[in-house]
Structure 1
Amino acid sequence: MAISKQYLKSKPVCKVTFTVPAAEANEVKVAGSFNEWNADSTPLKKLKNGSFKGTVSLDKDQSYEFRYVVDGNWTNDDQADSYQWNEFAATENSVVHV
């Protein structure tokens, strides 16, 4: 898994690209505090190499919790900037700092 960040000079925004290697998966989505945990609003596109990729624009100088939904199973990014315990889900969430 990978997260890449591209900061825009013209706006206080960072384009964050999520890449998930999941060749066997049919569907990968990302849900987080940036989309009110609505995975359906941020599906990732399957590439020819079998990985899934998608980009979201996030406000700079913020931290966002997120998790991937791979064929209905919630999972963290092993390369997240940090992790945050979530009482509601009783698990850790991945965190991206932008």
Structure 2
Amino acid sequence: MLERFRRKNDTQITFVLPSDQPCGNVSVVGDFNDWQPGAHPLVEREDGIRAVTLHLPSEQCYEFRYLAADNYWFDDEHADAHDGQNSILHT
């Protein structure tokens, strides 16, 4: 799931997943971090979900996926769109 908060100079995007789906470490990987695995790991919060927040330039389009243990790649079903390979995010 994606949570958004548009600010004056950027958009705050929080990538959110349940704490147990999938098991193990998960990071969000996309063109905003040069597709570097582990650059933005999701961290478990007190409410039992995992999340990471990024500040991205507004009015842009980004491709991303999640990467979990054992090289398991998956999309965000709540993304703005999907291009057949990646999830799409509009800020």
Please list the CA deviations of residues 20-58 of structure 1 after superposition, one character each: whole Å capped at 9, or x if unmatched: 114161201000000000021111102345421000111
Report % sequence identity: 31
Where does residue 95 of structure 1 map in the other structure?
88
Answer whether contact 1:23 1:49 (CA < 8 A) is retained.
no
Number of residues of Structure 1 aligned to a counterpart in Structure 2: 89
Larger radius of gyration: 1
Answer whether contact 1:83 1:95 (CA < 8 A) is retained.
yes
Q: 1:5: Cα distance to partner?
A: 0.7
Taking the TM superposition and a 5 Å limit, the aligned residue runs for 1:1-98 are 2-9=1-8, 11=9, 13-23=10-20, 25-71=23-69, 72-85=71-84, 92-98=85-91
State how far apart, in whole Å, the 1-side matches of 2:11 and 2:35 are: 19
Q: Which segments of 5 or more consecutive residues in structure 1 lack a partner in the other structure? A: 86-91
Report the TM-score, using the length of structure 2 for normalisation: 0.88
Which one is further off, 71-80 or 44-53? 44-53
State how far apart, in whole Å, the 1-side matches of 2:57 and 2:37 are: 19
Greater share of strand: 1
Distance 1:42 1:28, change over 3 A: same
Q: Which segments of 5 or more consecutive residues in structure 2 lack a partner in the other structure? A: none
How big is the alpha-carbon RMSD for the aligned residues of Structure 1 and Structure 2?
1.4
